[in-house]
Amino acid sequence: MNIHKTDRRKFLRRGLSGATAAAAAGLVALPVAAKSSGGKKGKKVIYKADEKPSKDAIFSSGIQHGNLLFVSGAGAHDPVTHKVVDGPFQNQVRRCLENIKLVLDAAGSSPDKVLKCTVFLTDITKWGEMNVVYHEFFPTDPPARSTIAVKDLPGDSPVEIECIAYV
């Protein structure tokens, strides 16, 4: 939407005042109230079935806000040993997606409700291999996606995937 300054001024002169006018002009942001199914401040922390809440946790596996679910980046780590799974790169991508599915399931969502993924690869030449497994997980109507090459990932994972879904 392209609004010229004079159009904005005319709009503002029509009776908007104070913070509402400033927000409409794009000068300040007003807080937006959102309804949620639970949790403090409208958000609900999602734990995988085998996960226990920890006061020392530095991030959550997932956060639900209203009907949106934000799934933290999942590496190619075995959920029991927390080590990167052995085998070819495609097995590691599959493990990432299975880890994401654990969070989706815990929140009452599913892969077909994923809206956006961000994939981080330490070796961008493996993009094609990643796509093969990604297509297995999202066979029809795949979500929007960004793929980003990075130098390193936490826990020595060669791939990490995060996503946004709805519940």
Q: What is the pLDDT of residues 130-151, one digit of tens each?
A: 999 999 999 999 999 999 999 9
Please check the confidence at residue 36 and state whether its pLDDT lies above 50.
Answer: no
Looking at the fold, whether 82 and 19 belong to one and the same domain comes out as no
| Sign of the Cα pseudo-torsion (65, 110, 81, 149, in order) | negative
Residue type, 43: K
Please check the confidence at residue 162 and state whether its pLDDT lies above 90.
Answer: yes
Over the stretch 101-132, which tens digit does the pLDDT of each residue have? 999 999 999 999 999 999 999 999 999 999 99
Element (H, E) at 13: helix 5-13
Looking at the fold, whether 22 and 58 belong to one and the same domain comes out as no
Over the stretch 52-84, which tens digit does the pLDDT of each residue have? 666 666 788 999 999 999 999 999 999 989 999
pLDDT: is 36 or 44 the higher one?
Answer: 44
Looking at the fold, whether 2 and 54 belong to one and the same domain comes out as no
Looking at the fold, whether 116 and 64 belong to one and the same domain comes out as yes
**Contact call for residues 142 and 112 (beta carbons, < 8 A):** no
Looking at the fold, whether 3 and 76 belong to one and the same domain comes out as no
Number of domains in the chain: 2
Looking at the fold, whether 62 and 144 belong to one and the same domain comes out as yes
Looking at the fold, whether 58 and 6 belong to one and the same domain comes out as no
CATH number at residue 66: 3.30.1330.40
Looking at the fold, whether 18 and 86 belong to one and the same domain comes out as no
Task: Give the residue ranges of DSSP H helices in 80-163.
Answer: 89-107, 127-137
Range of the domain at 47: 40-166
Q: What is the pLDDT at residue 19?
A: 41
Looking at the fold, whether 105 and 73 belong to one and the same domain comes out as yes
**Residues 6+ positions from 106 with CB-CB distance below 8 Å:** 46, 47, 48, 49, 61, 62
Percent above pLDDT 70 for the chain: 69
Kindly report the average pLDDT of the chain as a whole number.
Answer: 80
Give the distance, in angstroms, between the CA of residue 88 and the centroid of all CA atoms in the same chain.
26
Looking at the fold, whether 20 and 90 belong to one and the same domain comes out as no
Looking at the fold, whether 2 and 67 belong to one and the same domain comes out as no
Looking at the fold, whether 8 and 81 belong to one and the same domain comes out as no
Please check the confidence at residue 23 and state whether its pLDDT lies above 70.
Answer: no
